[in-house]
Amino acid sequence: MLEHLASGARAHVALGVEFVFTRQQEILQLRQADAIDDASFLRRIHYRDEWGYPWEGFRDLLDRAKRLGVPVHALDRPPRGGFEGLARRDDHAARHIVRILSATPRTRMLVLFGESHLARGHIPAVVSRLLARRGLARRSVVVFQDPEPVYWSALARGGALPEAVRLRRGTFAVFHTPPLARYEGYRQVLERWRGDTPADEEVDLTPAVHHLIDTLGTWMGIRPERHSVRHRVGWSDDLQDAYPEVYGGAEARHLLRPILREHGRTPAEIREARRRLARRDALYDPRSNTFFLVRYLPGPAAGEAARFLRVALSGRLHRDLEPISPDPAERAYGAAYDEALAYLGARLVDPASDVVVGVDAASPAEHRRRAQWIAAHREFEESRAAAPPPSLLRPLRGSREMRRRLAHDLGRHLGIVLYERVIRGELSARALRTLFTRDLDPPRARYEVIRLLRGKR
């Protein structure tokens, strides 16, 4: 069917698939561009855990689309299971289909989803309804593959089994595999699921990370499945659909370098990211929207989950978190604000946690200089001066490493202030949400950090 659609003289064809989550679209594009091999692709989308069916047929489909130059769109979202999850998945897929068809009106789209998603009131109906709201009308054809009741009904009428039958207007069934053969295929899949997982294989930490994000969202009065976030290209989606891809255990260390390199990180940035991951066992990278978790420690993991929420809620997904400014001191205050929110997130989830980024390998002399700088900043906070004195700004304009460490120290100082205000009931869910959603490009970050440290609301 894909070959037929793509063979037209003026064909503009797209393929939509269920077995890849929308948040994994970029990984799918890397596979289609031959930038990663199939083994890496399957590992990075957690294929066995999330899907599990034999890969060969899906591989052939993707290869056919690649050969024909047909773009492939990932249309599914978690969780896969339950009636409520089915309805949400249908709505998610339909909205993405409509977005694609609206952007390229001449495109014909082949969508491959399981049978339950094609019943009346599900994806085809939702797509038609959403198109109608936009004043668009597209003809749709639904094709069921090997539907069992139709198979047995056709056999009962006698004669040879037809290759296809029309069920009703715009709806057809095709037959390739007898039901008993399908049952055997399912049985083999179940056997594979039960028997091929090594005892020492890493546990998938994706549910744990996503639960941390949900928990922090609850503090802010956010329902992730209903809260919209805006992406860098201008379109919006549910927060839950933008959740980061998660790699845990040894896989986190192994994939850190190639993923960061794919997203344009410099060798120096990659080395720094590896050091940070080694210090705290958790790292969120905003540019790739990826969460690396060597082991699950609630405090550090929640701190990185807070970094994700800061990025997503402020509209900076797939962008660098640090604000852009020619003045390093202004960038340091922006970084301190983000460090404060990470610290706050860690303490809200794990009140006993007092470490977000781990211990810096600094000399005693440097620790003294940093402690003196924080003490001087506290004196400034207690004064009536509108702007920090040059003696405070000068170290922030020095080496990048010292600026990063002072920003961390100042962020921890502000994080403690914010956490204590939450405990005292001085920060409502709405106020917390505002802290994470506020756009603080320089010089606003400096003003906001100082305002919060002085206890102003």
- The verdict on residue 159 lying in a domain is no
Whether residues 104 and 238 share a domain: the answer is: no
The predicted-structure confidence for 387-439, as pLDDT tens digits, reads as follows: 999 999 999 998 888 999 999 999 999 999 999 999 888 999 999 999 999 87
For residue 443, cis peptide bond before it (omega within 30 degrees of 0): yes
Residue 31 maps to which CATH number? Answer: 3.40.50.11550
pLDDT at res. 290: 95
The predicted-structure confidence for 179-204, as pLDDT tens digits, reads as follows: 655 665 666 666 655 555 454 455 67
Whether residues 223 and 104 share a domain: the answer is: no
Whether residues 131 and 217 share a domain: the answer is: no
- The verdict on residue 186 lying in a domain is no
pLDDT at res. 202: 58
Share of the chain above pLDDT 70, in %: 86
Residue 447 in contact with residue 439, Cβ under 8 Å?
A: no
Domain membership of residue 408 as a residue range: 206-453
Rounded CA separation 305/244 (Å):
9
Whether residues 216 and 339 share a domain: the answer is: yes
- Among 140, 155, 170, which residue terminates a domain? 140
Domain count, the chain: 2
Q: Is the pLDDT of residue 29 over 90?
A: yes
Whether residues 260 and 401 share a domain: the answer is: yes
Q: If pLDDT is split at 50, 70 and 90, which confidence band does 114 have?
A: confident
Rounded CA separation 264/87 (Å):
37
- The verdict on residue 20 lying in a domain is yes
Q: Which amino acid is at 369?
A: R
Residue 415 in contact with residue 347, Cβ under 8 Å?
A: yes
Whether residues 130 and 225 share a domain: the answer is: no
Whether residues 350 and 434 share a domain: the answer is: yes
Whether residues 136 and 230 share a domain: the answer is: no
What predicted TM-score, i.e. pTM, was given to this entire model? 0.76
16 phi/psi in degrees, rounded to 5: -115, 135
- The verdict on residue 387 lying in a domain is yes
Q: CA dist 58 to 77, 111, 192, 416, Å? A: 18, 13, 17, 50
Q: If pLDDT is split at 50, 70 and 90, which confidence band does 269 have?
A: very high
- The verdict on residue 194 lying in a domain is no
- The verdict on residue 171 lying in a domain is no
- The verdict on residue 172 lying in a domain is no
Choice between 321 and 236, residue whose per-residue pLDDT is larger? 236
- Among 140, 159, 189, which residue terminates a domain? 140
- The verdict on residue 192 lying in a domain is no
Whether residues 251 and 126 share a domain: the answer is: no
Rounded CA separation 369/394 (Å):
13
Whether residues 274 and 411 share a domain: the answer is: yes
- Among 140, 165, 194, which residue terminates a domain? 140
pLDDT at res. 129: 93
Whether residues 123 and 248 share a domain: the answer is: no
- Distance between terminal CA atoms of the chain? 61
Q: If pLDDT is split at 50, 70 and 90, which confidence band does 359 have?
A: very low
Whether residues 116 and 231 share a domain: the answer is: no
